[in-house]
Amino acid sequence: MHFRTSIDNRIQQVKMPENLAVGMMVRAQREKCQDLQCPFDYYSFAFGESPFQVPRELSQALADHSTTGGYTEPGGIEQLKSAAADFYNRYFGLNVEAERMIIGPGTKSLFYMVFSMLAGEYIIPVPSWIGYTPQLDLLGRKWHTLELLSENQYKLQPMQLEQFLDAHPGTAFTLILNNPHNPTGQVYSEGELEALAAVCRSYRVAVLSDEIYALTTYDFCNYSSMAALYPEGTLLTGGLSKDRSSGGYRLGVLVLPEECPEELRFGLEKIAATIYTNVTTPIQHAAITAYSESSGNDRYLHTTRSIHKLIGQKLSERFANIPGIKTTRPNGGFYFLTDFNEFKENMLKKGINSANELGKALIAHPHHIAVVTGDALVVPPDNYSARIAFVDYDGPTAYEEYLSNPPVTEKDKEIFFTNHASRMLEGAEALEQFIGKLS
Ligand SMILES: Cc1ncc(COP(=O)(O)O)c(C=O)c1O
């Protein structure tokens, strides 16, 4: 290197975010397979990206605002904050005004801003999405994990939280709660959230409620937001990435707690102004459409969540039928968790010594199955679980077909599933063969 300045080695301690890790794993595999002259690509269960098109109204609104090029307020334009506040009041039963909203470039950036502002320590129920811990590490924040157990449907138990808090008196904590949950697809009921809220209220724990998948909840009529049940202590995040298939738009929303100290609100705006100035102006204007009351929005959300439900639940059943494998049944989002721990002994015998090794063995020739495991789920190396994303199908075609000819009977649903999920069904077969070799 020509310059004398060294590179700060903090980044080396930071775990690889899954989008980067999965991309690198797949690239390495492709190179290896080219050597073997293998033409097959891979079964894609790793990337968590909605397969549908950006809603037409949203992409049209973006085109209409392509010439709106000025800077905006760092925390977001007033019309968008107010449309988003109305949206959250309407769909999530909140009671917020525009002043409590901060618009950011995706929720990932909003997390980083919140983690920068909230001192103290963090609690992360695991398995978890990998996004939080690298950011906390970068900021030097201390974090603890609480294990989610299959016998509790991978949901944090109030008693478990209370015991942890009792064991750490005098420490200020922020609980990161992800609902619906990536990677298990589980959704907390109102009663379950109330019980957690009661513990958080009595120990004065802040909750960062990551509800990016909320609008994909299959039974959305019964969805409850932590921000409605614990408004004084919850920082709620959401955005367009998952339910509008618009991850690349980078539009996230943070709802601040009731009676939020001005110091926190202003501090977040200050970070926004310091780092990125404002979310891209045309995107902010377009997003007003996504947060407005319209039959188009309702149709899009209803149709996409119905397809996620049909495909996710049927595919999880298919996986659950593989002898020795346990899976969760998703109720929201587009993931379920697969538990391979039954085969631990056999895997160790074959040199698959950790959950990360399992990920490598699955992607290796001839299996070619890409999943997310181990570090990327924030679980210990001896927890042989994998996250299965069920989005590898032609979303636009499935969407049009579902709208024009919605499957009603069980038989219709089965036909829809086998027609659209054929690649993933082949992947399930490849997994069954992999398991067959282990048994
Ligand atoms: C649980 C969870 N939270 C947040 C995000 C990030 O969303 P955004 O695109 O808003 O940064 C993801 C993306 O995969 C996620 O799975």
- Spatial strand order of the sheet with 385-389 comes to 326-327, 335-339, 385-389, 372-373
Copy the structure tokens of residue 164: 């942890």
- Average pLDDT, rounded, for the chain: 95
pLDDT digits (tens, 9 = 90+) for 162-196: 999 999 999 999 999 999 999 999 999 999 999 99
pLDDT digits (tens, 9 = 90+) for 207-242: 999 999 999 999 999 999 999 999 999 999 999 999
- Residue of 56, 90, 89 lying closest to 300 (CA atoms): 56
Sequence-distant (≥ 6) Cβ neighbours of residue 100 within 8 angstroms = 85, 255, 256, 257, 258, 260, 265
Q: In angstroms, how far is the first alpha carbon of the chain from the final one? A: 51
Distance 88 CA to ligand 1 centre (A): 18
Output the pLDDT for position 42: 84
Output the pLDDT for position 18: 66
pLDDT digits (tens, 9 = 90+) for 397-409: 999 999 999 999 9
Q: What is the mean pLDDT of residues 274-281?
A: 97
For the CA of 49, the nearest atom of ligand 1 = 14
Indicate the residue type of 336.
F
Residue 161's pLDDT band (boundaries 50, 70, 90)?
very high
Determine the Cα–Cα distance for residues 152 and 285; give it in Å rounded to an integer.
Answer: 42
Residue 21's pLDDT band (boundaries 50, 70, 90)?
confident
Output the pLDDT for position 29: 78
Residue 374's pLDDT band (boundaries 50, 70, 90)?
confident
Output the pLDDT for position 178: 98
Copy the structure tokens of residue 171: 């420490």
For the CA of 129, the nearest atom of ligand 1 = 1
For the CA of 333, the nearest atom of ligand 1 = 16
Q: What is the mean pLDDT of residues 198-206?
A: 98
For the CA of 181, the nearest atom of ligand 1 = 1
Output the pLDDT for position 254: 98
Pocket test for ligand 1, best of 113, 209, 241, 276 (most atoms within 8 A of CB): 241
CA 312, 314, 320, 323 torsion-angle sign: negative
- The three-class DSSP label of residue 92 is helix
The pTM of the full predicted model, rounded to 2 decimals, is 0.96
Copy the structure tokens of residue 281: 């102006």
pLDDT at 19 over 70: no
Residue 438's pLDDT band (boundaries 50, 70, 90)?
confident
Output the pLDDT for position 4: 87
pLDDT digits (tens, 9 = 90+) for 239-256: 999 999 999 999 999 999
Measuring from each residue's beta carbon to the nearest atom of ligand 1, which residues come in under 6 Å? 48, 106-108, 129, 131, 178, 182, 210, 212, 239, 241, 247, 252
Domains of the chain: 9-52+297-438 (3.90.1150.10), 71-293 (3.40.640.10)
For Cα atoms 307, 313, 317, give the angle at the middle one, nearest 5 degrees: 145
Copy the structure tokens of residue 93: 């039963």
Phi, psi of 84 (to 5 degrees): -65, -40
pLDDT at 352 over 70: yes
Output the pLDDT for position 435: 94
Distance 107 CA to ligand 1 centre (A): 6
DSSP calls for 13-42 = GSPPPHHHHHHHHHHHHHHHHHHTT-----
Measured from the Cβ of residue 236, the count of other Cβ atoms closer than 10 Å reads 28
CB 74 within 8 A of CB 85: no
- Spatial strand order of the sheet with 234-239 comes to 101-104, 252-255, 234-239, 206-210, 173-178, 121-126, 143-147
Pairing status of strand 206-210 against strand 143-147: unpaired
Distance 108 CA to ligand 1 centre (A): 6
Q: Can you give the C-alpha Rg of the chain in angstroms? A: 22
